[in-house]
Amino acid sequence: MELYLAGGRHTLGIAVDVSVYESVLMTLKTMIAQINDFALQIRYLTGGGEIDRNVEWEIEDYFPGIDETLAAMREALIREYSVASWINGNEDSQEMTSFRTAIMFLERLMKDPDDIPKKLDLLVGSVGSIVSELSVALNGFQNMPLTLDRVYIYSGEAAPTFKKASIFASLWEGIKRFVDSFKPVRYKAVGSEGSVVLEVWINRARQYSDIIQQLVDDDFTPRTGIAVDLSIIKDEQKLILANAAGKSPDIALGISNWIPFEMGIRGAALALSDFEDFPLFARNFMPGTFLPFMYEGKVYGLPETQDFYLTFYRKDVLGMLNITVPSTWEEVKLILPELQRNGMNYYIPIGGTASSKAFMTTAPFFFQHQARLYSEDGLSTAIDRKEGLEAIREMTDLFTIYGMPLQVSSFFEHFRKADIPIGVSNLATYVQLMIAAPELKGLWGLAPSPGVDQGDVERWQTGSAQAVAIFGDTAYPQEAWQFLKWWLSRETQSRFVFQVLSTYGLEYLILPSNRFAFEDVPLPHEDKEAIREQWKWLQEVPRSPATYILEREISNIWNRIVLEGKPIRVAVDDAVQRINREILRKMEEFGYVVDGKKVKEYDIPDLEKILAWWSE
């Protein structure tokens, strides 16, 4: 379109006005709520689970007037579809297609309402159902995208002509872009000649790296005069190879939380705790996050982002079943019979992984039972002590005795369908629910994860995500430390999260490890309260040279007890022998054991030691 601009200052803008869809949006929300409630009543009636195809239902006996109700819903949807079509100028779109599909599915159910219990997935399935199609339409109408490709400003009466590139020129540019995609992504350092240039490797997607580069150029370099050369790496193993080749960078960002320890024990990482102001700066982070970064009393990394493990629960389902959100595992066991009687269940992350159970799924049970993973001298495991056996019994009995699902491919999908209306999950599920399940808006909530009553309910969970480290051979240790303090500060992290969300949307949400920066993340108040409460119980697994075998054997213990039916004591004793043998072998490799005899103490960090200097 063409606009005439008179002399003077002008502001050109575009905006989306969804008020024209007010009646459409209200109808869609009402229909989604009604169908969800109807589906819950059907589940309650049938006991959930698999419906016997041979059972004949007289649905009218349980839902009098069901034919009239479905007909009224259909008429309301057809009416609002006509309104939306008129507003759109009769142009088709994804939202209109989903609208039509939902009406078609509803008409299919209306042909034989008695079959609705057998076709519940057509009503509220995660995909290909009435609710899912209405949700797509609702989400689309609420979040209409609006883009402006280009603006041309010219003077004179005749509009300028714009030539398009030839097909050959376009093909050639496409080939060059394809070839360039195989080259490592590097950002040119901004700074004056002769200044310090820090080489920083980032294990993140390009979207995040672009924003980091912008923040560096706009703030860090002008403020300090230190230039930063950023490079994206897509494989963390390159850090180890680069260090072995003597070509390591100064700083690594976005790395897994086990890497700083592995670098530190091999002399490849700088001890951040040696910097004079480290204890003061460390108070920006939760104390339990430091455990995997410590070796011989020194800290070799810092947390960059955080995750959480909270209780996700469906308010509508628990309200219908008159179930309160459990606070302890004993309370979880009390609600399981009521859930299972209605074809539902409870989820914990152990059931969401394959055969290998990572520490993030098993370690919390040990922490909550006040059990040690290692002996005091670090040369053997302590999982066979009384507290450790209690932890193992707890995390296996939930499956062998109380019937939690052994394998859940997607907690989000089961939560959405309400056959697993409560469980423990993390940030990934939270983002999915916020983006991909608009039909559940207001129907779910967050609470701290269950724990063990030890006088107080101890809710220990892991929660570290990504970490940062400085390489030991850096030529600029003070400048690198200055960069890390700037990058992990409240101001920078708050700006980073805000720019990520405003540029790419909620699906790219990350939670900063800086506990003060978290206060600036734009999340609902009640959700932040739940996350903040759970972070008080954040504790990571301390590492030793043989941590990998401990993690693997705890996983094997669970598999042998739950899947193979072995007694707990037999499974644990077999695993302890393998763990202790491997620990001694690795301790000998690093000089703590010689010819099977201890020659040097290995200090296992614990939360009490960290709190001693963190709280000063």
Other Cβ atoms less than 10 A from the Cβ of 390: the count is 17
pLDDT at 156: 73
Q: Could you tell me which of 175, 110, 97, 83 has the C-alpha nearest to residue 136?
A: 97
Q: What is the pLDDT of residue 186?
A: 56
Return the pLDDT at 192.
46
What band does 184 get if pLDDT is binned at 50, 70 and 90?
low
Contact criterion met (CB below 8 Å) for 200 and 229: yes
Give the Cα separation of 404 and 424 in Å (integer).
12
pLDDT in tens, 244-272: 788 889 999 999 999 999 999 989 999 99
Output the average pLDDT for the chain. 89
Nearest alpha-carbon partner for 141 in 234, 251, 22, 221: 22
Q: For the CA atoms of the chain, what is the radius of gyration?
A: 29
Q: pLDDT band at residue 197, thresholds of 50, 70 and 90?
A: very high
* 15 has pLDDT over 80: no
Among 366, 289, 364, CA closest to 611: 289
Mean pLDDT (whole number) for 493-497 = 96
List Cβ neighbours of 368 (8 Å cut-off, separation of 6 or more).
391, 451, 452, 454, 458, 459, 460
In this prediction, residue 181 carries a pLDDT of: 67
Distance CA 154, CA 67 (A): 63
Rounded Cα–Cα distance for residues 271 and 251 (Å): 13
Q: Which of 329, 362, 612 is nearest to 458 (CA)?
A: 329
Tens digits of per-residue pLDDT, 55-78? 788 888 888 888 898 899 899 999
Whether the predicted pLDDT of 424 surpasses 90: yes
Place of tokens 């004079």: 276
Specify the DSSP class assigned to residue 451: B
Do strands 346-347 and 452-454 pair parallel, antiparallel, or not at all (unpaired)? unpaired
pTM exceeding 0.85: yes
C-alpha to C-alpha distance for 505 and 394, rounded to whole angstroms: 40
Residue 188 above 70 pLDDT? no
Residue whose pair of structure tokens reads 């670098």 in the numeric block: 263
DSSP three-state, residue 357: coil
| pLDDT beyond 80 at 208 | yes
Considering only the C-alpha atoms of the chain, give the largest distance between any 2 of them, rounded to a whole number of Å: 93
**Phi and psi, residue 12, nearest 5°:** -105, 125
| pLDDT for the residue 39 | 85
The mean pLDDT value for 551-567 works out to 96
User: Does the pLDDT at position 518 exceed 90?
Assistant: yes
| 557, 392 Cβ separation under 8 angstroms | yes
Other residues' Cβ atoms within 10 Å of the Cβ of residue 611: 12
Distance CA 332, CA 345 (A): 10
pLDDT > 90: percent of the chain: 56
| pLDDT greater at residue 173 or residue 427 | 427
Is residue 108 within 8 Å of residue 121, measured between CB atoms? no
Confidence of residue 179 (pLDDT cuts 50, 70, 90): confident
The length of the chain, given as a count of residues? 616
Cβ–Cβ under 8 Å, residues 483 and 228:
yes
